[in-house]
Structure 1
Amino acid sequence: MKAVVFASLIGSAAAFAPAPTARTSTSLAVEKSKALPFLPNPVNCEGYVGNVGFDPLGVSNYFPVDYLREAELKHGRMCQLAWLGYVAVDLGMRVPGYPEAMSSATSATVHGPAVEYGALGNIFIWIAIAEMTSWIGVSQMLQGSGRAPGDFGLGTKFIEGKSAAEVESMKLKEITHCRLAMLAFSGVVTQSVLYDKGFPYF
């Protein structure tokens, strides 16, 4: 009986034994990322416009890349608008009809007055409606409808009559601007708070 128990323990331990060296040498031959040459290339990102192999956390191994690209485009588009809105307010642009506390505030200091006035509650409702509406398209995309990430049927006139290479170039420009806008908005908010000055925040 002791021999049977001992044999089963040895068998269980063998399951956790190191892999043979042959497998290790195979892993060394894996293609490396262009952006991070010390990491493997994220193969799930292949074929997407703007892919440079940047996925250090391996997120594309756990989530559909269509969903990740949808999120990247959404946040990038929002940051393009957000940067413009943030700077426009600090350059003096105001929506008429708001109380003095909001009209005299800067982008960095308007949160408190906006909460008191109730403006942020309205913004929350409109964002919730937009999110629920957009999820219909995202859900269909994830179920194989063929919808491209970020495609809501807007701006199609800009790619009408263009070749596949030209459409690819337009998509690359958009994703590049989206990525830049995410960095730009983070930078403009940080700099405006650190220096406590108006545009250009230094």
Structure 2
Amino acid sequence: MMKLAVLAALAGSASAFAPAANGRGSTSLAEKSKAVPFLPNPSNLDGYVGANGFDPLGISNYFPTDYLVESELKHGRICQLAWLGYVAVDLGARIYPLPESMQGVTSATAHDPAVAFGSLGNMFVWMAFFEMAGWIGISQMLQGSGRAPGDFGFGKQFLEGKSEAQINEMKLKEVTHCRAAMLAFAGVVTQSVLYDKGFPYF
């Protein structure tokens, strides 16, 4: 009896952290996807800027679409900054003098010296802090607060006085740049390692 009570408590606590349903329909069998015309339209994506019905694996049937959009925007924004930082380091940009152990490193070779120096441990602490703070907004969004995916209150002045069509155009530009940045960062890292040369890495 005690074992059943413990299992029930564990199951209940686990379900508290499960993503909430997004309240939309699932995959529509009649309508076809715009992006992949031979597949059904994933109707969970309807109404999201830049979606175009692209979900060949049906991921939006298992996770809230707001959560997926939040994830895409977050990773895209990080990759935009990461591409710029990766290239800037290889072009010689420095914010402050580097310690002797970090002299002459490139973006591709900086990992081990940075671990030895301790700067990556420092970075981990800051990243953990930002992730915990960001999860508060995500958790509230998944519970129906009305918060838009990726909205942390920054840059909203650019949307003031604009029509809904103009706002959607800005959102489309952002998600397009986010997707391009994710591909670009993967490409720049791969090319810099394969060719072992500085920018432009060939």
Tell me the TM-score range normalised by the shorter chain.
Answer: 0.7 to 0.9
- How far did residue 36 of structure 1 move? 1.2
Structure 1 range deviating more: 171-180 or 94-103? 94-103
Task: Give the alignment of 1:171-182 within 5 angstroms.
Answer: 171-182=171-182
Question: Match of 1:59?
Answer: 59
Task: Give the alignment of 1:142-153 within 5 angstroms.
Answer: 142-153=142-153
In structure 2, the CA distance between the partners of 1:31 and 1:201, relative to structure 1 (3 Å rule), is: same
Question: Match of 2:11?
Answer: none
Question: Match of 1:82?
Answer: 82
Assess if the C-alpha contact under 8 Å between 2:34 and 2:53 holds in 1: yes
1:128-173: CA deviation from partner (whole Å, max 9, x where unpaired): 0000000000000000000000000000110111111111110000
Could you list the runs of 5+ residues in structure 1 that have no partner in the other structure?
1-26
Aligned to 1:31, the other structure's residue is in SS state strand
Assess if the C-alpha contact under 8 Å between 1:94 and 1:103 holds in 2: no
Give the letter aligned to residue 124 of structure 1. Answer: F
Question: Match of 1:111?
Answer: 111
Question: Match of 1:132?
Answer: 132
Could you list the runs of 5+ residues in structure 2 that have no partner in the other structure?
1-26
Moved over 3 A (4+): none
Question: Match of 2:201?
Answer: 201
**2:191 is the counterpart of 1:191:** yes
Structure number with the higher strand fraction is 2
Identity of aligned residues (%): 72
C-alpha distance in 1 between matches for 2:77 and 2:179: 9
Structure 1 range deviating more: 178-187 or 32-41? 32-41
C-alpha distance in 2 between matches for 1:29 and 1:68: 22
C-alpha distance in 2 between matches for 1:63 and 1:29: 19
**2:100 is the counterpart of 1:100:** yes
Aligned to 1:41, the other structure's residue is in SS state strand
1:67-98: CA deviation from partner (whole Å, max 9, x where unpaired): 00000000000000000000000000123242
C-alpha distance in 2 between matches for 1:186 and 1:29: 35
C-alpha distance in 1 between matches for 2:36 and 2:67: 23
- How far did residue 28 of structure 1 move? 10
In structure 2, the CA distance between the partners of 1:195 and 1:159, relative to structure 1 (3 Å rule), is: same
C-alpha distance in 1 between matches for 2:188 and 2:30: 39
C-alpha distance in 1 between matches for 2:69 and 2:28: 29
Question: Match of 2:154?
Answer: 154
Question: Match of 1:37?
Answer: 37
1:86-139: CA deviation from partner (whole Å, max 9, x where unpaired): 000000012324213323100000000000000100000000000000000000
Assess if the C-alpha contact under 8 Å between 2:108 and 2:189 holds in 1: yes
C-alpha distance in 1 between matches for 2:29 and 2:91: 54
Question: Match of 1:169?
Answer: 169
1:175-194: CA deviation from partner (whole Å, max 9, x where unpaired): 00000000000000000001
Assess if the C-alpha contact under 8 Å between 2:49 and 2:172 holds in 1: yes
